[in-house]
Amino acid sequence: MRKLIVFNQVTLDGYFAGMNGDISWAHRAKKDPEFDAFVEDNAKSGGELVFGRVTYEMMNSFWPTPAAFEQFPVVAERMNSLPKLVFSRTLDKPTWKNTRLVKGDIAAEMRKIKNEPGEDLVIMGSGNIVSQLTQAGMIDEYQLVLFPIVLGKGRTMFDGVVKPLNLEPTKTRTFGNGNVLLCYEPAGQGARVGA
């Protein structure tokens, strides 16, 4: 069975997006070659990317552009070449290369997709998707990059989660720019902590 992984950037006060979906705070960190290498290595690791419509449209508006290839050549190449899955009831036809559209019930469809052959699935952004699949108990791992910034207002990817979710740490890593990678699995899956 394929693993379903959440990979998101979050602020110290727990937001993955500011007001009106603003994520510009995630691009203001001071330059750090170690963190930049981590981002590139992470992009190379493969998998199928999973988005809700809002995140999909935001990613599609940047990653296929010449600016993306100029600023982030390795990440742009991977973002464009990896298979992508977008959950949307309103999108008619995806325009980003290697994208398939799923319109059905998110949890039911993801259950089927996890049983298909293929690489692991990685949700990026997409708070509504994260929340729904968290409640359905379908997420195998949460990989969060904590940014040392406080927004005061924004959106948490767990809006709407109604019952507590106990998580166990599996990995941490601190970067010179102050960002911290925090990895968790739902309790009971055999946690292992290390750098």
- pLDDT digit string (tens) for 115-171? 999 999 999 989 999 999 999 999 999 999 999 999 999 999 999 899 889 999 999
Whether this prediction's pTM lies above 0.85 is answered by yes
pLDDT of 192: 41
Within a 10 A sphere around the Cβ of 194, how many other Cβ atoms? 9
Task: Specify whether the CB–CB gap between 156 and 12 falls below 8 A.
Answer: no
Eight-class DSSP state of 17: B
Q: Residue 45: its pLDDT value, please?
A: 80
At 195 the pLDDT is: 36
Structure tokens at 109: 């469809």
- Residue 190 scores a pLDDT above 60: no
Condensed to tens digits (0 to 9), the pLDDT of residues 20-35 reads: 888 888 887 678 889 9
- For 50-105, the pLDDT digits (tens) are 999 999 999 999 999 999 999 999 999 999 999 999 999 999 999 999 999 999 89
Q: What's the DSSP call for residue 31?
A: P
Helix (H) or strand (E) holding 169: strand 167-174
Does residue 44 or residue 108 have the better pLDDT? 108
Distance CA 58, CA 9 (A): 15
Question: Please, what are the domains in the chain?
Answer: 4-27+47-168 (3.40.430.10)
User: Do residues 14 and 156 lie in contact, with contact meaning Cβ atoms separated by under 8 Å?
Assistant: yes
Of 169, 154, 167, 193, whose CA–CA distance to 9 is shortest? 154
Q: Let me know how long the chain is.
A: 195
